[in-house]
Amino acid sequence: MSTIRGHHHNRQNRCRSAIECFRAVLLTDPANAEAYTGLAKSYELLGREPQRQIVLERTAALGRIANRLGCAVYRDSDLLPFLEIAELSESIGLRFHARAVAELILRLQEDHVGARSLLEKLDAEGAAADPLLAVLPPDLDTIADPALVRGDRGKVGQRGERVGGVPPRFRDIAREAGIDFERFDDMRGLSRILEQNGGGIAAFDYDRDGRVDLFFTNGCRLPRKERTGEQSNRLFRNLGGSRFADVTVAAGLWWNGYCHGCAVGDYNNDGFDDLYVTAFGENRFWHNNGDGTFSDVTDRTTTAVPVWSSSAAFADLNGDGYLDLYVVNYMQTTDDPPELCRSENDPNRYICCPATIFPAEQDVFFLSDGHGGFHDVTVQAGVTGVDGKGLGLVICDVDRNGLLDVYVTNDGTPNHLYMNQGVEAGSEPTTPAGAVLAVPRFREEAMVRGAAVDGYGHPNASMGIACGDYDNDGWPDLLSTHFYGETNILYKNLGDGIFVDETRASGLGPPSRLLLGFGAVFFDCDNDGWLDLFVTNGHVDDRTWDKRNVEPYRMPPSLYRNDRNGQFTEVSPSAGPYFARQYVGRSVATVDFDNDGDQDLVVSHQAGPSALVVNETPTACGSLTLALVGTGGSNRSAIGARIEVVGLDHPLVRELMGGTSYQATCDQRIHVGLGQHTPVPLLRILWPSGNVQEWQNVPAGSYMVVEGRADLVPAVR
């Protein structure tokens, strides 16, 4: 309870009381990462940067200890990870822990020099003062709380009675719609981590005919030198009337690589969305020619990234009106394909190696020069978080200061939240051609802001991300999906980008503990104005051969309905036949493919066909669908725009984000469920350029909105 009280005091800017709470926790539990997170936030609010850095260093060390512990479990013949755990523990004052691990090493190997040396060092130190005491002042009376006003931020929106009690209904129509895609994975009876990461989805209108088309990434033969060209990513054109046609070859997108994620955005502001695809060792960038075809511009844009990438997203991170590109990289490996590990239950069988045995790969941030070129400014921008094994990505404004922030979920290590500090005047570098680059600066603050680990201070195997304002308080919240035996984590935004783990309070914990989640989306399945949640599930290892194994490979997807009180209720069993079956789920994207005003789903699976899940939920609620076109200083895709419906009994805010889900790009039209609040009293759009437009008494429907124009143009249904 002391940590909860401490977080509450921080939110009220009572930093002295907060530090007292966190100190009480740490004096009895010196490895409590959540208490360190809160303590770091207290010092940030007080402006005490030296103390904050000491706390952050200890928090990072705890994350590294957790990572090395996972490596030690899978490499039990190697004592190096155990020694690293002991040394890290000693370095941050956890001497009891360090001694216990060092003694364990000596029991396993009596002549271990490193462990013996560490014990001698611990004996010499004796009862030396814990270095954390330097940041736990015994006299708190000298600390003055900052006089900051927070207003009404962080409150849950007012609730009303739910409109209608009919449960959501969905149906998979992929086969009848002409979508016959099944991802190729060259496992040949084996299970490598490369194959199990799966593929991604992009839902975008590539030919600008008003209908959203679907793109799926594919695998290839392994090792890649043996690939034959038989497999390719696939593009399905929406013909209307719930029919699609495979136009991959005609569009010039046939390419045989081992692909994972995809990002969509109009990087050159010509009115047509372009496509970036991540892969194992060879990412690809396709320019939309505007005539139904694409051209490979990877070399011209210098965006190849010859490592192992997962998710990617476009967003204008420096506010110059051109989309930049953020690429999440996973892990380092020189093997093609990555190595296998022997099963602990059967040494004659090989299984998927855990992420803990691989070193992390650095993400890459490409800044647009506004002339079709991109430049790697990763180091200059400061997006160099330690030990990130990234899988999920979302780019949005978590603190609503007008600057887009970057959130990355990492596999088994603390997540990263890069807070945008803006462009530092007078420090703009130039390209070799002499072009000036306005590089934004970022600061990694996930631990301080409460979005790095779970509420118990533990890093998890994080995969996908859902982002949206689930409680209608006006602030974007986050949900990350996790491994079997963990739970998915709901991070509630308390205001100004400060998060707290609300998993248990929301009811999302127990239903997800015995599932392994990947792609996830917040979406309003019944148009009542409150975001619901979909998660696709599936294991990374098929161990049905092992009689001792209790973890299923195929799993049912999960649908949670928003109860409008900060809680969710799982409604999967009553949501239709699709939810009654089991899959090896990976990516999911929201899409209104039939333009009927509700949100459908497209889901990719391993070892089975992809699904197009049409929303057939009976509802009397209306909705708005807004296709935004940025001009006058905004990027053409309008990524970063925010929609506000004003005049209701609670805030109703939606944001056009970069990324989300898992290796996916959702339908980039903004969908707003209205309940029975039609017409909309006041519709406000805050464009990326800073321009603000408002319209009164807007009827429910679908519209194209061009920045600067006074009229809302009805879209063709």
Domain that residue 47 falls in: 2-126
Decide if 177 is inside a domain: no
Residue 195 has what pLDDT? 86
Decide if 157 is inside a domain: no
Contact 495, 450 (CB under 8 A): no
Residue 319 has what pLDDT? 97
Dump the DSSP string for 356-369: GGS-B---EEEEE-
Residues 421 and 532 in one domain: yes
Amino acid at 214: L
- Residue 149 scores a pLDDT above 50: no
Q: What is the strand order of the sheet 499-501 is part of?
A: 465-468, 477-480, 489-493, 499-501
Highest mean pLDDT range out of 337-341, 446-450, 611-615? 611-615
- Residue 379 scores a pLDDT above 70: yes
Among 545, 565, 562, smallest CA distance to 553 is for: 545
Model confidence pLDDT, tens digit, residues 175-213: 999 999 999 987 655 667 888 899 999 999 999 999 999
- Residue 164 scores a pLDDT above 80: no
* Residue 228 in tokens: 């034959």
Amino acid at 342: R
Residues 596 and 657 in one domain: no
Measured distance CA(662)–CA(655) in Å, rounded: 18
SS (HEC) of 525-545:
CCCCCCCEEEEEECCCCCCCC
Model confidence pLDDT, tens digit, residues 537-594: 999 988 888 878 888 999 999 999 999 999 999 999 999 999 999 999 999 999 999 9
Residues 352 and 425 in one domain: yes
Q: Which of 30-44, 118-132, 367-381, 680-694 has the lowest mean pLDDT?
A: 118-132
Give the CATH number for residue 52: 1.25.40
Residues 574 and 647 in one domain: no
Residues 571 and 701 in one domain: no
Model confidence pLDDT, tens digit, residues 53-90: 888 878 777 777 777 766 665 555 578 888 888 888 88
Residue 144 has what pLDDT? 52
Residues 240 and 106 in one domain: no
Contact 532, 168 (CB under 8 A): yes
Max Cα-Cα span within the chain: 80
Decide if 234 is inside a domain: yes
Decide if 102 is inside a domain: yes
- Residue 432 scores a pLDDT above 80: no
Mean pLDDT score of the chain = 88
Backbone angles phi, psi at 65, to 5 degrees: -60, -45
Residues 227 and 356 in one domain: yes
Task: Please indicate whether residue 221 or residue 209 has the higher confidence score (pLDDT).
Answer: 209
Contact 393, 313 (CB under 8 A): yes
Residues 678 and 554 in one domain: no
| 92 pLDDT tier (thresholds 50, 70, 90) | confident
Decide if 571 is inside a domain: yes
Of 76, 94, 126, which residue sits at a domain end?
126
Measured distance CA(387)–CA(329) in Å, rounded: 11
Give 676's contacts (C-beta < 8 A, 6+ positions apart).
Answer: 163, 620, 621, 622
- Residue 128 scores a pLDDT above 60: no
| 488 pLDDT tier (thresholds 50, 70, 90) | very high
Measured distance CA(275)–CA(282) in Å, rounded: 15
Residue 223 has what pLDDT? 78
Task: Please indicate whether residue 520 or residue 74 has the higher confidence score (pLDDT).
Answer: 520
User: How many residues are there in the chain?
Assistant: 717
Residues 229 and 372 in one domain: yes
Residues 577 and 645 in one domain: no
Quote the percentage of the chain above a pLDDT of 70.
91
Decide if 550 is inside a domain: yes
Give the CATH number for residue 708: 2.60.40
| 697 pLDDT tier (thresholds 50, 70, 90) | very high
Give the CATH number for residue 191: 2.130.10.10
Residues 559 and 425 in one domain: yes
Give 717's contacts (C-beta < 8 A, 6+ positions apart).
Answer: 595, 596, 702
How many domains is the chain built from?
3
For 58-89, letters b (16+ CB in 10 Å) and e give bbbbbbbbbbbebbbebbeeebebbbbbbbbb
Residue 190 has what pLDDT? 64
What's the rounded mean pLDDT across residues 642-669? 96
Measured distance CA(175)–CA(612) in Å, rounded: 8
Per DSSP bridges, beta strands 558-562 and 713-714 are unpaired
- Residue 250 scores a pLDDT above 70: yes
SS (HEC) of 654-671:
EECCEECECCEECCCCEE
Model confidence pLDDT, tens digit, residues 258-309: 999 999 999 999 999 999 999 998 999 999 999 999 999 999 999 999 999 9
Residue 215 has what pLDDT? 99
What's the rounded mean pLDDT across residues 333-340? 78
Of 95, 126, 157, which residue sits at a domain end?
126
Give 152's contacts (C-beta < 8 A, 6+ positions apart).
Answer: none
Dump the DSSP string for 428-473: --B-TT--B---EEEEE-HHHHT-SS-TTS---B---EEEE-TTSS
Q: Which long-range contacts (CB under 8 A, 24 or more apart) does 674-679 make?
A: 674/527, 674/529, 674/621, 674/622, 674/623, 674/624, 674/645, 674/700, 675/160, 675/163, 675/527, 675/528, 675/529, 675/621, 675/622, 676/163, 676/620, 676/621, 676/622, 677/529, 677/622, 677/645, 677/648, 678/622
Measured distance CA(504)–CA(488) in Å, rounded: 10
Of 594, 615, 636, which residue sits at a domain end?
615
- Residue 136 scores a pLDDT above 80: no
Contact 418, 383 (CB under 8 A): yes
Residues 599 and 666 in one domain: no
Measured distance CA(312)–CA(365) in Å, rounded: 10
Decide if 112 is inside a domain: yes
Contact 708, 689 (CB under 8 A): no
- Residue 560, CB half-sphere, CA atoms under 13 Å: how many? 28
Give 350's contacts (C-beta < 8 A, 6+ positions apart).
Answer: 190, 191, 340, 341, 342, 343
Decide if 167 is inside a domain: no
* Residue 81 in tokens: 């990870």
